[in-house]
Amino acid sequence: GIQVEQSPPDLILQEGANSTLRCNFSDSVNNLQWFHQNPWGQLINLFYIPSGTKQNGRLSATTVATERYSLLYISSSQTTDSGVYFCAGGYGNKLVFGAGTILRVKS
């Protein structure tokens, strides 16, 4: 099956800093999504992005499908950005989740 590798595994930022999270896939995918799990455990969908670039406020994501990776950019980080960021990819409805990047933003 598809293997999903996320980096870095954890990250500590000072409030206001920018960061880039990466997701690599062992095989091509046609369904790729990014999620944020907040400290209360809620999973929030950030992007559905099998290819191309999308932006939503301070967050943006880029997927290069031919090279099997995706990037999530967080600009001007805030303490509320803390939590775990997951990417998930696969075909159709069968998504495989990465192990996540634990982000901690310090004030």
Residues of the shown chain interacting with another protein in the complex, contacts defined by CB under 8 A? 30-31, 33, 35, 41-45, 48, 86, 88, 92-100
Residue closer to another protein, measured from CB, 17 or 97: 97
Give 17 or 59: the residue with its C-beta nearer to another protein: 59
Cβ-contact 95, 1 below 8 angstroms: no
Residue recorded with tokens 């930022």: 13
Q: Which is nearer to another protein, 48 or 52 (CB)?
A: 48
**Measured distance CA(89)–CA(63) in Å, rounded:** 11
CB of 53 to another protein, least distance (A): 17
For residue 48, the minimal CB distance to another protein (Å) is: 4
